[in-house]
Chain A
Amino acid sequence: MKRSQLIYKIISYSILLLGLGIVAIPIWYMVSTAFKPQTMVFELPPQLWPNPSTFDNFIKAVTTDHFGLYFWNSVKVTLTATLLTVLISSMLAYAFARLNFPGKEALFYILLLGMMVPPVMLIIPQFIVSHKLDLYNNLWGLILVYVTMNIAMQTFLLRGVFEDVPRDLEEAAMIDGGSPFTIFTKIVLPLSGPGLAVVVINSFLYSWEEYTWANVNIGDSVNRTLPIGLALFQSEHLTEWGQVFAASLIALIPVVIIFILFQRYFVQGVSTTGIKG
């Protein structure tokens, strides 16, 4: 038993490291380029270790005008949109997973349409709506559209998660006179940690990276978000890939932090034991 486990561990590590190599080559290339003084990017053979290495590209990226402001705008938009997405999609998912009401299936398919239509097709009418509601040039205009465009997929995901929550517990709570709200907040949500964590990670990434709508709905540079900042930076430094890579590496940091924080919920079934009995 012990030996087979050891062998299995070794195999696991070997596969992981092999995969890591494939994953890492482009990323390492990006990192090393970001540390290069000029654009030596497309040299042959590729020079993987920057020599001499320099932080200049990072400093230039961060000190570009409004980088901090764009970053802060993105933080505000992304956190708010993520929170609203988690809240709204978990409510929707609960209704679709657990409640009985007429037209449920039809409504669910309408919801699913939300992830099937190419978002760019909706940009012009969304702009008109945003304008009418005075959301043009306003971070709320970004937040509400991000939530709308994202809830379909996250609800779909959570519906599956909630359906996996054992019904026995709920039924016990119902007999005790618990309302759907109590069941939702006290039983279903606490048991869906991994699923909610995925929704947080997905929604954060989506809102953090979104570019097309932000570019259209924000006409004033004080309200711009980081993807617009990166695109402007890229327009400016078209051929200076080191700087472009450095800027986008900095933009990755918050997503990595969120991922590290929330991947901790992917831990094998600690919680399931208690509820089976």
Chain B
Amino acid sequence: MREKKTRNQIAPAIIFLLPGFTLLIVFFLGPLLYSFRISFFDWNFAHPDRSVYVGLQNYITQFKSQIFQRAVSNTVIYTVITVVVKMVLGFFVAVILNQKLSGRTGFRVAYYLPVITSWVIVSLLFTYMFSGMGGLVNYFLKDVLHVIDKNIMWLADSTLALVPVVLVDIWKGVGWAAVIFLAGLQSIPVELLEAAEVDGANRWQRLTGVMLPMMRGTLVFLLVVLVLGGLNAYVPFQLITRGNPMDQTHSILTLMYRATFSRMNFGSGAAISYLLTIFVFVLSVVQLKLLRKPAGE
């Protein structure tokens, strides 16, 4: 049996890979190289032949910029918080929604609704809830809980403004993580859980001792995808803070968008993208290598 598994299966592999990689080469890798080239130019989008080669200048400019540095730290903080919270909450929601409950489909839909609700509208609602002038959050903190005595101007403060940005992403993202966990839970054989139950393991022990280890693949997938999604955050930042106040609440990608489509500085935009891509790529490879299934499992 061993030798069967290790022999090369080039012919079937080519057939299985061909459709996907054809698309990737035409619509992804080609465009990728094209825009990579742009990052070394002061690029003229109307007349590419008038573009000026500037070497690494577009990259160096970013590192020197205080706004870029702040955007990097915003993005990293945002990623760490949202990934941890979405994974923990998503897991528990999935475990609960995996049981035989009456109205289960309804609950599942309800928890998935935030995922599909329009970003524009959700951001608008969160902006409104975090309004510095009698928004819902200030109302609770001031008039119900009495923990503050003056309305907080959330969006006027470069640190506090990140609170609604993080919360909106968590609100919208828990359902997605839960769905992935929910699917992952199905790969755990029932008899394993039953066996654990017979052995006297309580629910918590079954959760951490049986379920989590059995879902390594799901965990790794979610971790990698959520981390790279977090580092690529654009929409919540753009819709809620737009970099205000004083350009201190950008994410890496809002700066990239601004450089490219507002300032028409394509070279800079491309440089920001590739700095991010390289960082994300290395990080993902490291995560995958570290979390790889131990041999023999």
Which of A13, A23, A153, A265 contacts B110, CB < 8 Å? A23
Q: Which residues of B contact A263 (CB under 8 A)?
A: 105, 108-109, 112, 179, 182
> Once the chains are docked, how many angstroms separate the CA of A44 from the CA of B16?
58
Question: Which residues of chain B from 208 to 256 have any CB-CB distance to chain A below 8 Å in the complex?
Answer: 217-218, 220-221, 224-225, 228, 232, 234, 253, 256
Of A22, A88, A128, A160, the residue contacting B23 (CB under 8 A) is A88
The answer to whether the Cβ of B55 comes within 8 Å of any Cβ in the partner chain is: no
Q: A118-B273, A266-B182 are in contact. Are A252 and B256 (CB under 8 A)?
A: no
Given A94-B16, A179-B12, A197-B183 in contact, is the A171-B32 Cβ separation under 8 Å?
A: no
Q: Say whether B49 faces chain A, with CB atoms less than 8 Å apart.
A: no
- A107-141 residues with Cβ-Cβ distance < 8 A to B are 107, 109-118, 120-122, 124-126, 128-129, 133
Interface range for A: 35 or more
Which residues of A sit under 8 angstroms from B92, Cβ to Cβ? 15
Cβ-defined contact, B16 with A99, below 8 A: yes
A59 lies within 8 A of chain B by Cβ: no
Binds A, one of B61-69, B71-79, B80-88, B122-130: B122-130
With both beta carbons as reference points, the residue of chain A lying nearest to B225 in the complex is identified as A153
A234 and B120 contact, Cβ closer than 8 Å, known pairs A92-B20, A122-B35: yes
Residue of A13, A121, A251 touching B35 (CB-CB under 8 A): A121
Interface: A91 (CB within 8 A): yes
The yes or no answer to B93 lying at the interface (CB within 8 A) is yes
Interface centre among A113, A149, A153 (most CB of B within 10 A): A113
Nearest B-chain residue to A45, judged by Cβ: B139
Task: Give the total of B residues in contact with A, Cβ under 8 Å.
Answer: 98
Count CB-based A-B contacts (< 8 Å): 261
Chain B residue nearest to A123 (CB atoms) is B31
Residue of B nearest to A91 (CB): B16
Complex-state Cα separation, A99 to B12, whole angstroms: 8
Cβ contacts under 8 Å, B171 to chain A:
22-23, 26
The reply to whether A92 and B29 contact each other, CB–CB distance below 8 Å, is no
B186 touches A114 (CB 8 A): no
Instruction: Judge if A169 is at the interface, Cβ distance under 8 Å.
Output: no
**B9 with A100: CB separation less than 8 A:** yes
The answer to whether B285 touches A8 (Cβ under 8 A) is no
Contact A276 B189 (CB under 8 A): yes
Q: Taking CB as reference atom, which chain A residue is nearest B168?
A: A26
B217 touches A266 (CB 8 A): no
Which residues does chain B contribute within 8 Å of A255, judged by CB atoms? 116
Let me know if A117 and B20 touch, CB within 8 A: no
Q: How far is the CA of A101 from the CA of B125 in the complex (A)?
A: 51
Nearest-CB residue, chain B, relative to A155: B20
Q: Decide yes or no whether B53 CB sits under 8 A from chain A.
A: no
Whether A19 and B111, one on each chain, are in contact in the complex, defined by CB atoms closer than 8 angstroms, is: yes
Assembled-state Cα–Cα distance A83/B115 (Å): 21
A20 contacts B110, C-beta separation under 8 Å: yes
CB of A272 within 8 A of CB of B190, answer: yes
B114 A27 Cβ-Cβ under 8 A: yes
Provide the residues of chain A in CB contact with B147, threshold 8 Å: none
Residues of A within 8 A of B26 (CB): 129, 133, 148
Asked whether A24 is an interface residue with its Cβ less than 8 Å from the other chain, the reply is yes
Assuming the A-B contacts A27-B114, A124-B45, are A116 and B24 also in contact, with contact meaning beta carbons closer than 8 angstroms in the complex?
no
- Which residues of B are in contact with A by a Cβ distance under 8 Å? 1, 4-10, 12-14, 16-17, 19-21, 23-24, 26-32, 34-35, 45, 92-93, 96-99, 101, 105, 107-118, 120-122, 124-126, 128-129, 134, 136, 139, 171, 175, 179-180, 182-191, 203, 217-218, 220-221, 224-225, 228, 232, 234, 253, 256-257, 260-261, 266, 269-270, 273, 276-277, 280-281, 284-285
Q: A111-B20, A133-B26, A248-B118 are in contact. List 12 more A-B contacts (CB 8 A).
A: A16-B97, A16-B107, A23-B114, A110-B29, A117-B273, A118-B273, A118-B276, A125-B32, A148-B26, A153-B225, A160-B218, A171-B4
